[in-house]
Structure 1
Amino acid sequence: MLFGLSGVELSLIIVFVLLFGGILSGYPVAFAISGSAALSFLIIAILSEYGFLYVMETHNGELEKVPVLAQGWQKALLSTQSTWAQGVFSRAFGGNVETLLAVPMFVLMGIALERSRIAEDLLITMAKLFGTLPGGLAIAVVFVGTLLAASTGIVGATVVTMGLISLPTMLRYGYSKSLSTGVIATSGTLGQIIPPSIVIVLLGSIVGDMYAIGQESRAQELGVTVLEMLGEPAVLSTGTLFKAAFIPGVVLALLYAGYAFIFALLKPDQAPPVDLTKSDEFHLVTYYGGSSGRMVAAVIGPIFALALIWILFAWGGVAGSMVVDGALKSGPIEHGTMAAVLLIGSLYFLALSLRPQHPRRPLLIGLAGLALMVVADSLFVEPDASGGTRFLYFFIPAVLIVYGLRAALPRLLEVEALRVVSPPVILIVAVLGSILGGVTNPTAAASLGAAGAIMLAATRRLQDSGQKGKIIVWSALAIIIMLLLRGNFDLRMTLDNISFEDRVAIFLAIVTYHVAVFGLLYSCWILMRDGTMKAVVQETTKVTSMVFVILIGSLFLSLTIRSFGGEHYIQESLRSFNDPLTLLLVVMLVLFLLGFVLDFIEIIFIVIPIVGPVIYAADPSVMPPEWITILIAVNLQTSFITPPFGFALFYLRGVAPPGVTTLDIYRGVVPFVFIQIIGLALLWYFPGIVTFLPDLLPQS
């Protein structure tokens, strides 16, 4: 054997050499993968047929040479083609279709927001808000990148937009080229980890099967069933992954902002504070005794206090549900109630702190309504109460809350930063809130996000032309009502016995549905009128087609590897590690290195199906599957900024001013690559960062 390598090892080398050669040739990735699969199979078949690729096996006590395609290339080809066709069919029309449908919806959502110039408004406003801090413009870019990540998830659109708008501004005010390019390129990749994330959607379509296969193998080795071993089915949903990814994404954003701030303190001449604001038109600094710190504490303090109360209630079993003696017990207060307290209470406290010169009485009445709602939920509303019962007990608190909101919202919209930030934040709350709250699954939430993005884009177009979007506002209100009805009533019309309250809810849902659809169609017409919708649909089709063509080609490549036993060989090599943590560390290192030359989509569809059944076979009490997946997702996010083939670097290079060189961009992202490694280390040593939200908000 050549260099002492077996036929399987040589075949793997042939496959990966052709794969990397095809990708590096500049040929479209999707077709390079399919072509490398076909060409490598042809070469392996010829070499196997002529006896150059073989393995040594023992038969009747003697070692014999066995070709890697033991049954001949004809049967191997037929088997591969048959399995490939079945695999494509199952991916396209099988159990994963609902998960994969979220991909085009999230892509449409991101591109619609990018075309509406909402990102431009965010960048300008946040630059004014944070500019006076050391490194404030860089911190503003991180903040905007986080918001865009949670509302779009499209790396290319985010990096290009921030590069066009913020990079010239940062350079003009004396920011170093390396810090400016590094923070823009890296912040743009947050969309790959902060939900809604296409990476997590694609991972969710694969790792659920990998987890089930891995736990089934472990159960067979122990001689028990999966239910006996785990006490529950081996299920890992995309919704759970969304919950698990949220806090790690925020932690990474804080690390980026912290680096920019420390950089500015150490090198103030390369990241100077810039005052882009107008005078203190609301006299807030004067109101708070000239102390900016006191003003910030008054704005942020109550919001953090409400969030802390929710967390403490959840830990103590007062809010939500928890497992007690193997049974799921519900606390006296529901998570939905606490979420309403946090969101609406934050609006009241913001209005109190940012517009203190207005009367406080309406806001205090609204806060009293929130308190009354909590009392009613804890004392009178049972966890299994019907929607009609909830309506009766929550009616008076709701009236008080709406009264307070009518006073709070106009005051908040007077503040430019809130007026600009509120549209994407509302969309984020609607999409993520419906997923984290268990109202809808990620696919339905993706559809909601796409519709919301179209409405926001249409509203922006109407504002630019001096028109009002009352129809769109009423449609948005109808969507909110539908979500509330979906969360509190049984809207199934196929039931034999439907209660009166559910009939009323179904009628209201039908009415609000038609109002929402009319508003959506009206928004589409607005965007079609000026040509925006055509560009959005074309770009969405292009990105979605790329993803699914790569998926199909990667299946072909995986089955080519499987045809000569390569997949089995890799899995057996991985199983040679006795410590599962050591195995995971090796896989993470391999993925990190692959990120220098491969895109995240190729890694997901080619590498994860091979190594997944092994790494997901670990004890979930030691290595939770969501923790493993988020580690992989953060690792894949790094592939966007690792030279020389990081896609974010290419996007930024395409829009950078002539004075910014490729070397400046490479030099700028190097510190952030190390920050990514620090983030991975934090997740590795503190798994609670990942598992906190899934444990706090378990599946209902």
Structure 2
Amino acid sequence: MEYLALLMFVVVCGVLLLGYPVALTLAGTALLFAGVGSVFGIFEPSFLNALPSRIYGVINNQTLLAVPLFVFMGAMLERSKIAENLLNAMSILLGRFRGGLGISVTLVGMLLAASTGIVGATVVTMGLLSLPTMLKRGYNPQFSTGIICATGTLGQIIPPSIALVLLGDVLSSAYQKAQLQMGLFNPETVSVGDLFAGAVIPGLVLVALYTTYCLLYAMFKPEQVPSLTQADINQIQQGRSKLSLMFSALVPPLLLILVVLGAILLGFATPTEAAGVGAMGATLLALYQGALSRENLTAVMDSTVKITAMVFLILIGASLFSLVFRGFGGEELVQGFFHQMPGGVIGATLVVMLVIFLLGFILDFIEITFVVVPIVAPILLAMGLDPIWLGIMIAINLQTSFLTPPFGFALFYLRGVADKSVKTSSIYRGVVPFIIIQLLLLLALAQWPRLVTWLPEMIYG
């Protein structure tokens, strides 16, 4: 009977590959297997009695309220020309160096990630703004598309990240379940603030690695990443002084980032409260930039409702899937598999990371977060892993799912806005070095876990 749980997971992956909606696939497959199992007496329908309480828990979850607020904040900033101003400022500052545009894209991507947290918006915006400029200035298409896709995914790991908000909620439940399995009771849970603090240093290290790659590329292939001419820089400045351009471009988003993240990390506000402040701050910033029109506000609210509805509908479908998975004994099967595995906790962690990486080729990070993580996280936490470290490792691993073909969403986003002269094969080849860089970061965090745990311990004790 336990192997029916694994068959159910395989069927879900197969149906998703056919293009059916994620939430309906999860719920429909679970109900189909539950119905067949009930007929043959191998599934107890009473497991489904817990679904209403789970849905009510989702509705009543204060942490998840941060999702629509952060989405609103990111969508509003996308409409307020923040990215365009930042890219112009960085281009003036670094464009005179070889590879300077690539470094500019990396730094702007970092700032957008810290202010929006939405991968799709960042990739599309940077693709529209920077890709034509890079190609016009003679940049290699493969390098250009790779750096845009990779920096666009920084929103997965650099807070405030929607992925970290969702992971924080899932890991909190997993940590409590692991405590019960060990016969312990610890009222403390894994908070989103803990994950935000743990992600700061790995996020900055990843930005440093991307920048290093740009510098090395410029060193060994200088003809493929030429510098901007003085005429190009004068065209960007449009008669404005460098100081005023840098001030107007950098200060507003940096101030918003400091207010939102500072309030969370220093304990002045919960992530939900800080998200509300961020949403209001983004609205005021759009007003300051003259971008708060009725059309833009309608588009932002429409985008927020669509993304939020998608996330929560997937969460409800995943809740039903996990109930049926547990009813077939899937959790016991996975737990027994991990405990019998050679290598103990190291072997189990390695297998989980490998499975998540491979699933990233065909599944979105939301499905993996809501379906796979609740199954494996309690087992790994019960084996003694630090929950914050595990959360950041999973988040970085999930970040690669945006870059890995055939279903890497960052690749799709950029393909949709890139010029037809840019080959799809160039986009796919361009992201390979950055996938390798992200995997190297995972190895570094496995070797030096203090890169994740040091800042949360210093802030929260």
Normalised-by-shorter TM-score class: over 0.9
What is the Cα deviation at residue 167 of structure 1? 0.5
| Number of the residue aligned with 1:687 | 449
Whether the aligned pair in 2 keeps the contact of 1:18 and 1:40 (CA below 8 Å) is no
Alignment pair present for 1:118 and 2:118? no
Q: Which has the higher contact order (CA 8 A, sep 6+)?
A: 2
- In 1, Cα distance between equivalents of 2:242 and 2:258: 18
Return the match for 1:267 from 205, 209, 221. Answer: 221
Who is 1:20 aligned against? 13
Distance 1:44 1:183 in 2: 49
* Counterpart for residue 211 of structure 2: 257
Partner SS, residue 453 of structure 1: helix
1:532 corresponds, among 296, 302, 315, to: 296
Uncovered stretches (5+) of structure 1, i.e. residues with no partner: 1-6, 50-66, 70-75, 228-232, 282-411, 463-525
Choose which of 422, 427, 432 in structure 2 pairs with 1:660. Answer: 422
1:153 correspondence with 2:117: yes
The percent identity for this pair of structures is 48
2:314 matched to which residue of 1? 550
Name which of 656, 678, 694 aligns with 2:440. Answer: 678
Tell me: CA distance 1:564–1:624, structure 2 relative to 1, closer, same or farther (3 Å): closer
CA contact (8 A) 1:598 1:639 kept: yes
Specify which of 51, 54, 59 is matched with residue 87 of structure 1. 54
1:191 and 2:155 correspond? yes
Which stretch has the larger CA shift, 682-691 or 146-155? 682-691
How far the C-alpha of 1:449 sits from its partner, in A, is 0.4
SS in 2 for 1:125: helix
1:436 equivalent in alignment to 2:436: no
Radius of gyration: which is bigger?
A: 1
| 1:103-160 alpha-carbon deviations (Å, 9 max, x no partner) | 0000000000001111111112212211122211111100000000000001111000
SS in 2 for 1:415: helix
1:425 partner amino acid: L
CA apart distance, 1:438: 0.9
The TM-score normalised by the length of structure 1 is 0.63
* Displacement after TM superposition at 1:688 (Å): 1.4
Q: What per-residue deviation string (whole Å, max 9, x for no partner) do you get for residues 67-115 of structure 1?
A: 643xxxxxx23x132112221112222xxx1100000000000000001
Separation of aligned partners in 1, 2:219 and 2:313: 47
CA contact under 8 A between 1:186 and 1:669: conserved in structure 2? Answer: yes
Q: In structure 1, what residue type is equivalent to 2:191?
A: S
The two structures, once aligned, show a CA RMSD in angstroms of: 1.9
| 1:208-607 alignment, distance < 5 Å | 208-218=172-182, 220=183, 225-226=184-185, 233-275=187-229, 276-278=232-234, 414-461=243-290, 526-528=292-294, 531-577=295-341, 579-607=344-372
Provide the secondary structure at the position in 2 that maps to 1:101: helix
User: 1:394 matched to which residue of 2?
Assistant: none
Which residue in the other structure is 2:23 paired with? Answer: 30
Contact in 1 for aligned 2:6/2:330 (Cα 8 Å)? no
Deviation at 1:547, TM superposition (A): 0.3
| CA distance in 1: counterparts of 2:13 and 2:35, whole angstroms | 17
For 1:16, the aligned partner's letter is F
Is 1:101 the counterpart of 2:65 in the alignment?
A: yes
Report the more deviating stretch, 663-672 or 573-582.
Answer: 573-582
More helix by share: 2
What secondary structure is seen at the aligned counterpart in 2 of 1:697? Answer: helix
Q: Which residue of 2 aligns with 1:204?
A: 168
User: What's the offset of the Cα at 1:8?
Assistant: 2.1
Kindly provide the CA deviation profile for residues 424-452 of structure 1, in whole angstroms up to 9, marking residues without a partner as x: 10000000010111111111000000000
Greater Cα shift, 431-440 or 27-36 = 27-36
Q: CA deviation at 1:45?
A: 4.4
- Paired AA for residue 457 in structure 1: A
Aligned match of 1:129: 93
Structure 2 Cα separation of the partners of residues 240 and 14 of structure 1: 35
Number of residues of Structure 1 aligned to a counterpart in Structure 2: 454
CA apart distance, 1:687: 1.0
SS for the counterpart of 2:421 is coil
| 1:262 maps to amino acid | L
CA distance in 2, matches of 1:618, 1:237: 20
In structure 2, how many angstroms separate the alpha carbons of the residues matched to 1:589 and 1:68? 31
TM-score, length of structure 2 as denominator length: 0.94
Alpha-carbon distance between aligned partners in 2 of 1:650 and 1:429, rounded to the nearest angstrom: 32
Instruction: Assess, with a 3 A threshold, how the Cα gap between structure 1 residues 43 and 650 changes in structure 2: closer, same or farther.
Output: farther
Task: Verify the 8 A CA contact 1:105 1:446 in the aligned structure 2.
Answer: yes
C-alpha separation between the residues in 2 aligned to 1:627 and 1:188?
23
Cα separation, 2, equivalents of 1:547 and 1:613: 22
Q: Does 1:41 align with 2:34?
A: yes
| Structure 2 equivalent of residue 8 of structure 1 | 2
- After superposition, the C-alpha distances for 1:9-58 in whole angstroms (9 at most, x for unaligned) are 2x134312321122111222222222222233344445xx2xxxxxxxxx
Aligned-partner residue type, residue 155 of structure 1? V
| Matched residue type, 2:2 | V
How far, CA to CA, are the matches of 1:215 and 1:32 in structure 2? 32
**How far apart are the structure 2 equivalents of 1:98 and 1:13?**
32
Which runs of 5 or more residues in structure 2 are unaligned? none
Structure 2 counterpart of 1:573, which letter? F
